[in-house]
Structure 1
Amino acid sequence: MLPNILHKGSLFHFSQAICRQVQNKGLATKYRQDECFRLKLKKLIALAFVPLDEVTTAFDLIADQFNDDADDLLEYFEKTWIGEPKRRGTGRKKPLFDHKLWNIHDRVIAATPRSNNSVKGWHNAFAIRVSISHPTIVKLGEKIRREQSKFEVDMAKILQGHNIKTKKTCYRKLDERITRLVNSFERTQLDQFLKNMAANITL
């Protein structure tokens, strides 16, 4: 996966890349059967919600909690997402993917979408409403006009002060929990923050 393919703030791509490596490193069974290992892996994904200036510190904290059988996975993660320590002096090399590409802490604080899933959601819903693999121009035009009418009705409701629900309740509640956790982040409680965030991550 090339850096310019990874959408900025896309938690989906970040977590899926890690899941693939868990399988590639032969750790899938361990992930399913070992609750402690599963928590640690989710903590790695929770790094996406840590403030940018705390990412490396948080990674070091998590890495120390893994057993030796995860060394290959951690080596991949460090090289790809964190940056390997420099052999001479202090600091780290640049990772394959800059922290700003996958860390979404600031997006959560700013209440902006964490990914382009809303666009995908609309596309899927529209495809279902069209419900024809290859619609004619006439039929497609009719569906687009209906979609435009629905959009105009929704816009009118928003302007009148109505709240248009665009997400399922379970996803809205998840967003609210994540926002609360991110907004209450404290550096002195870093490991607890990672545990709390990991509890809200599903793979």
Structure 2
Amino acid sequence: MRSCQINVKILTGNSSSLLFKLPCQQPTFQCPDFEDAVLRAVTAVFGRHINHQGCFYHLTQASWRQIQQLGLVPLYKNDDDFRVFCGMMDGLAFLPVPDLTNGIHLLRTLCPDDPPEAAELLDYFDSTYISGRLRQQNPAQNQAVRLVLRRSPPMFPPAIWNVHDATVNGDARTNNMCEGWNNNFFNLVGHAHPSIWRVIEWCQKEEATVRTIIQQDAVGNPPAKRTQQRHVQLQERLQNLCRDLTTGQKTIAEYLCGVGWNIRLNHQY
């Protein structure tokens, strides 16, 4: 709760004078990292009409951190089957939302019995992103004491992280364009703690570059987007898999296996 309050203060404090000078003062879409405090703060400031579309890359990063916390890294690196299983788990993001329940049930049948931490990994994904957690409900006054459990909503419901429609439509699944700008600017500046004068100098150079790009776009000559061939091929493979699932050429198991292979082949870990 404290993190949410801090983010609300940032969005409504001194920085808001700059924020509300932007051309789009009433955004309808954001692509955040998976930080519950940020999601709640943005909703509190801009309203419930905001469409939150989580970054798929950060979804896989959250899964990877859980693999590390559970001590499953050696198994992940040395067991191809378990690595693909982890890819299938993240691949649930590519399933149509109505198929998610069948997808998680399928993965429970495929989950290794040993080590037991593998089941904990799947439980984490299910409770955080799909089914939510079971919580004990306190009995009402003058009611016999009994154990009553209710299922709370997941912290991040499927509408936030599901990328099936984005993949089919060729839309972005990540906020990597923002991450890419951050990395490029860091490389330009040269180190993590530059002087204020060096930052100003490189901000001015970056502004000049962006103004040139805007002018090119204004006259109908936008710079060509540089897309790595492997990303183009990955997008084609994922769209083919989505089509095969829709037409019934692949079962959910075959689909998740194919997506899982592609996800893990595309990552460095």
Range into which the TM-score falls when normalised by the shorter chain: 0.7 to 0.9
Question: How far does the alpha carbon of each residue in 1:47-67 deviate from its partner, in whole angstroms, 9 at most, with x for none?
Answer: 111111111111111111112
CA contact (8 A) 1:9 1:115 kept: yes
Unaligned runs of 5+ in 1: none
TM-score by length of 2: 0.63
Alpha-carbon shift at residue 197 of structure 1 (Å): 0.7
**For residues 1-203 of structure 1, what are the structure 2 equivalents within 5 Å?**
2-5=35-38, 8-68=53-113, 69=116, 70-84=118-132, 93-131=152-190, 133-134=194-195, 136=197, 139-140=201-202, 142-152=204-214, 154-155=216-217, 159-160=220-221, 164-186=224-246, 189-201=251-263, 202=267, 203=269
Q: Percent of counterpart pairs with the same letter?
A: 28
Q: 1:153–1:126: structure 2 CA closer, same or farther, 3 Å change rule?
A: farther
CA contact (8 A) 2:133 2:154 kept: no
Question: Which letter maps to 2:129?
Answer: W
Alpha-carbon shift at residue 123 of structure 1 (Å): 3.3
Greater Rg by CA:
2
**What secondary structure sits across from 1:184 in the alignment?**
helix
Query: Aligned partners of 2:120 and 2:203: how far apart in 1?
Result: 53
CA contact (8 A) 2:188 2:202 kept: no
Aligned length: 198
CA contact (8 A) 2:217 2:223 kept: no
Query: Aligned partners of 1:154 and 1:169: how far apart in 2?
Result: 25
Query: Aligned partners of 2:119 and 2:84: how far apart in 1?
Result: 16
Q: Indicate the residue corresponding to 2:48 in structure 1.
A: none
Question: Which letter maps to 1:3?
Answer: D
Query: Aligned partners of 2:76 and 2:103: how far apart in 1?
Result: 21
Q: 1:41–1:156: structure 2 CA closer, same or farther, 3 Å change rule?
A: same
Query: Aligned partners of 1:169 and 1:134: how far apart in 2?
Result: 38
Return the structure number with greater relative CO, CA threshold 8 A, min gap 6. 1
TM-score by length of 1: 0.81
Query: Aligned partners of 2:175 and 2:81: how far apart in 1?
Result: 32
Query: Aligned partners of 2:210 and 2:70: how far apart in 1?
Result: 48
Alpha-carbon shift at residue 13 of structure 1 (Å): 1.8
Query: Aligned partners of 1:123 and 1:156: how far apart in 2?
Result: 25
**What secondary structure sits across from 2:245 in the alignment?**
coil
